[in-house]
Chains A and B, each alone.
Chain A
């Protein structure tokens, strides 16, 4: 009985601990870009980081990429960083899409889905806005064009705040 209770408690803990909620510290990850460069989330500490999970087969994701690219370009790309995590199982699918719709921001590949597992991604696309201290400020599932305006407002707000001032 005691064993069952311990196992259940452990499972419950594992489930609650796995999701990356707003207000909590973003889980760290590192992955390779399509050019073979290894990057890690920790490299961007002190900057506003937008992590976007996408795949070439997900149509709202396809719509979002050029808009995020424009957003990143508008903010200058120095203090606001976009990291797109591609979840295509076949790299060729992603490469084909990126050849047709090139983006300037960093795109890393995670064909095994290890990073979304740690973040507890519940739908596609999913995005996380992380502040200078590494805290998740916003989590968003799905995509519509007006989401970009909300994101733009939030990023502008965060860019005005120095690290440590939450």
Chain B
């Protein structure tokens, strides 16, 4: 028995500046079931990242509805959106986005900062997450002291430390060589298989996409079936 965890209904997104309007997404319908692993593919500039940002509640659609866990997100306050992101979603970015001023373990703790957790509890969870990505030996390094693959593993640890139901990964292997990319893919598929985390991944690498259960193609702001 599966349940629809992410549901997009006729979602459009338009970016407007003073002079021009750019349509990034146009009338997108999408349903993702809990425990699914899904790739979004398409050429660059087609709206993949916009779609991911909308699912991640980092941005709001111009038209249409987005529902997470059956709850439609509309006119939520900044606080409410923030806490939804905090609880339900973990992000992995192409360029890692680790905070250079913080040590690895402090970087991983970030999502827990915005929950009411004690310092010891946070540390424990962060170390667990790092163990899961195989980086227990690097907890006190600064991000700049790590290789790209290691940095991305830290970013995944950060994404999973809060035990979110959904992980959104935006070209997670885009900045890595194929060997490191494989490692990252293994971790992501492992997460999906072991604890049933829903993974939505943007990529333009066909080989990587084929390792996921479903591929959604997007072209010029619209889904191609």
Are the chains A and B members of one assembly? no
Q: Show the binding face of B for A, using Cβ within 8 Å.
A: none
Q: Show the binding face of A for B, using Cβ within 8 Å.
A: none
